[in-house]
Each structure stands twice: as C-alpha cells, then as structure tokens.
Amino acid sequence: MNNRGSIIVAFIFVILISFIGISLLTFSHTHNKIAGARARKILSTGKILQDLVYYLHQCRERIFAENISASDQPETEIFNSDFFPDLNIDGTEIGNCIAYEETQRQTHKKVRIINLIEAASQRNNYGYRSAVNIDVLSGEIPVDEFPVLIEKKIDVPVETYLEEKKIKNKSDKKVVVEETGAKIDSPRFLSDAFQVPLPGELNWEVIREKLGLETVEAPIEDGIHLLLVDDRVDLIFIQGDVERIVFSAREDVQEILFIKEGTYYEISYRPGEYFFQCWDSGVPEYCLFKEVILVNGDAWSIEQGLETAFHGTAAIRLFVSHFAVITSNLESDNFGSGTNMVQFMLFNGGQGLPGHEGIESGIVIDAAGEETKIEAALISKGKITNHSDKLNLSGSLYAADVENLGEIEVTHAKAKVDMSPYFVSGNYRYISNFFIDFIEEVYDEK
C-alpha cells in the first residue's frame, strides 16, 4: 500500500515537472528560432548591402575618373551597360537598368542618367535596390555650375595647380582649369539690363535717353542715376569710381549705401516687392527694384554694413567694369536655409559700355582679419586676387587667372539668378551631379 502511494505521488510529480519543462522548452525553442532567423537575415542582408555599397563606390570612382569632355555624347557613349556591367560578387547578383532623361536649357542640355541597381542573393530571397543619378551637362554651361572655372591653359595636373595656388575644393564637383572658350558676354548683359535689343546699339546717346538725360553722343558726367520704367527701377547706374558700396540686411529690407566722392546715397527696398526708398525723393516709393547695379569704373570697397550683407530674399547683380575690391565678409542672413544658393553675383570686366575696350579689370579680396567669408558668385574676365589669409567662398569662382596670397576654400553653391546666356563656358561636357537617390531593402514596409 505504501509502495503504491509513493508511485502515484512520484507520477504526479513527474507529470508536473515535465509539463513545466516542456512549456519552457517550447517557448525557448520558438525564441531560439526567432533569434536564429533574425541573425541569418542580418548576416545575409548585411552582406548584400556591403556588396552593393562597394559596387556603388566603384561606380563613383570610375565616373569621376572618366574624361567625358572628349566624348560628344558621354551619356550614351560612356555611361552605358558596358560601363555598368551586371556582376556576381561572391553570391550577390547585381543587375543594372539604365534610363536617360534629357532637359534642354537655354545654352546647354542636361542629361540625367538613372541607373536602377538591384542586388540580390543567390541563396535566399533577400535583396536591396538602389538608384544612381548622374547629371551630365553639355554645351555652353553657366559658369556658376562649376565651383571653380579658371579659363587658362596649364601644364600641370589640375590637382597640382590647385595645391600650388592653395585652393581647396570642398564640394564633390570637379574644378576645371582649362581653356574652354568661355563667353563672358558683358555687352549682352548690359544691353539686356538697359533693355536695348542689340548689344552694339548701346552707346552714350542711348544710355542718356534711358536715364532721362540730354541725348547727345558724349559720356555722361560722374554720378549715380536710376533707370525708372513705369513703377520699376530697372537698374542703378554709377558713372565713375565709387569709394564704397555697403550692403546691409535689416529686418525685412535690404539696404545699399553708395559713397561717391564723399557723398552718401542710400536705398532700401523689399526684394521682390513694390517698396523702394531712395535718396532721391522724386522717385516714388511704390517701385519694384530689379536689383541690378552697374558701375562704370572702379568699386574700391564692397563691404558688409551690419551682421549680414544680404536679405534672405535678395538676388543682387553688381557689374563693375574696372576693378572691384571686396574689403569685408559678405554673408546672407539665411544662406543654407531656404535655398542653398548665393544671392550676390559680382560680374567684372569685359567690354560692353562705350569706351571700354582693352581696359584692365579684376576682382580683389582684401579684407582684414584671419578669415573672410564671402557668399557670392564671383565672375571676372580678368584676374581674381586674394589678399586675405583665409578666404571661405560659398558660391562659385570664374576668372582668367587667380592670384592667391592666402588660402581659398570653395564650397560650391549655385547662383540664385540664371547666368545663361551671359556668362557661360565654351562647348563643354561636365558632370554636375552624382547622387545615390536611395538604397532600400526590396521587400520593405510601405
């Protein structure tokens, strides 16, 4: 009897322990299966991603190593299925699907090469997908598309030249130093600014007529004039040298102060709006200023008045026919917020105004302090000379030559106003953009 009782108790005990053990083991088994599946997925997808990123990296290296300017149609002659071959990298199959999108611009065309790349494992269903976009510009390319374009023939590689000149390119675009046959069409820019149909028709008589002065074929006297058309101020024309041009962004207005022969001339306006206050009380306040300033002479000091020079919505084009000297920082109050485009374009030199053939011109940066920050597109038909210890230029630089007595660091940003057809390269091919639009797992949540 005692023996039978012990067996029953032991049996109950074994059942209870087994039940607990089995449930524990079952849960652990499920957990282990989940953990195992996760580990396998991480390993597999990690390998595919690694192979894909390596392939993309190789693509990038090869794209930027290509000399596309030698090809008439680089988009199809170079960037085709031979350039992007289908591969098998250690069990990861990589397939390419290439498409082209062409956009015709005023003086050039942009072809976007879109390569949809799929990377899949041969061993399982995991995969990644990516899209590489390459923008190739062909034709007469606006000079602000290049971080630095120096229209000059050199005997050394560009990298060596930049090192010698102490120019650092902080953008992913290539610096171009060669004779592209660039067109710095100041005459056309000036005739369009004066609204004269043909550049050859721009003479003193026409300028006088436009500015409301006596129409005789003689240069106008030194001074500052406004070209008023209906309720617009199309441009400000400064005849002769100007000592200082001071830009200041103050709350919702842009201020510009001109100091010429000791006299102060100040304007303030709201960019893009009908609000314009001028030293000349005869000019109505309800005017739209088109933000074009022409200096027929030298501008000895272009500077920033307040903490920032340019209002967030401004797009100022300053043309200086002789020498333009920048003597301080020139910064916008919202560069890098909104659009990453520069709001100040300084054009310098070139023919266009009557009596200007063969006059020497150039842009000089001569600001005090250790570091000078300029946000602008600097375009000079002559030479750009930097005297600052360190010049941080956000924007672009075009010149026939550069003389650098300090360091120049260029971070590329396009100009807010279209440069074509006035300031463009010769017939050229250029990779303006390379980016990986996305890298994603193929079967992912929507």
Partner 1 sequence: MIKGFSLIEVFVTLSLSLVILSIVLYSVAESTKYSKKITGNQQVMESIFHTIDSLRSDLTKCGMRLQEASKHFDISLFENSGSSFKLVYGLQSEALKAEAYKGETTVSIDRNDYFKKRKTVLIYNIENKTFEFNEIEEIDGDTLVLALALQNDYPEKSCIVVLKRVEYKLYDKENVLKRKLDRGYFQPIVENVSDFSVTFFPDANSVLYRVEVNEREQIRGYIFLTNMVQK
The site for partner 1 (CB under 8 A) is made up of 2, 5-6, 9, 12-13, 16-17, 20-21, 23-24, 27-28, 31, 34-35, 38, 49, 53, 101, 103, 105, 133, 172, 336-341, 414, 416, 433, 435-441, 444, 446
Least distance from partner 1 to the Cβ atom of residue 443, Å: 12
Token couple for 367: 């600001």
CB of 82 to partner 1, least distance (A): 26
Q: Minimum CB separation from partner 1 for residue 336, in Å?
A: 6
Minimum CB distance to partner 1 smaller for 165 or for 414: 414
Give dist(CA 432, CA 103) in Å, integer: 14
- How far is CA 236 from each of CA 195, 239, 267, 319, 425, rounded to the nearest angstrom? 14, 10, 10, 10, 28
Looking at beta carbons only, is 144 or 234 nearer to partner 1?
Answer: 144
Nearer to partner 1, 58 or 160 (CB): 58
Distance CA 109, CA 43 (A): 44
Q: In whole angstroms, how close is the CB of 28 to partner 1 at the nearest point?
A: 7
CB of 425 to partner 1, least distance (A): 17
As to burial, measured by CB atoms within 10 angstroms (0-12 exposed, 13-18 middle, 19+ buried), residue 238 is buried
Choose between 205 and 441: whose C-beta lies nearer to partner 1.
441
Question: DSSP state, 70?
Answer: G
Q: How far is the CB of 24 from partner 1 (least distance, A)?
A: 5
Q: Nearer Cβ to partner 1, position 5 or 85?
A: 5
Q: Computed from CA positions of residues 349, 354, 360, 365, in that sequence, does the dihedral angle turn out positive or negative?
A: negative
Least Å distance between CB 49 and partner 1?
Answer: 8
**Token digits for 359?**
């006059």
Are 164 and 329 in contact, with CB atoms under 8 Å apart? no
> Residue 89 or 436: which CB sits closer to partner 1?
436
Nearest residue to 151 via CA among 349, 350, 399:
399
Give dist(CA 238, CA 233) in Å, integer: 14
The b/e string for 280-310 (b: 16+ C-beta within 10 A; e otherwise) is: eeeeeeebbbbbbbbbbbbbbbbbbbeebbb
Pairwise CA distance, residues 185 & 422, whole Å: 5
Name which of 21 and 284 has its Cβ closer to partner 1: 21
- Cβ proximity to partner 1: between 334 and 427 the closer is 334
Q: What is the DSSP string of 117-186?
A: EEEEESSSS-EEEEEEEEEEEEEEEEGGGSSEEE----SS-HHHHHHHHTEEE-SSSPPEES----EE-H
Residue 145 and residue 174 in contact, taking contact as beta carbons nearer than 8 Å: no
Tell the smallest beta-carbon distance from residue 90 to partner 1 (Å).
20
Query: Parallel, antiparallel, or unpaired: how do β-strands 223-229 and 183-184 relate?
Result: unpaired
Pick between residue 278 and residue 288 the one whose CB is nearest to partner 1: 288
Q: Min. distance of Cβ 87 from partner 1 in angstroms?
A: 20
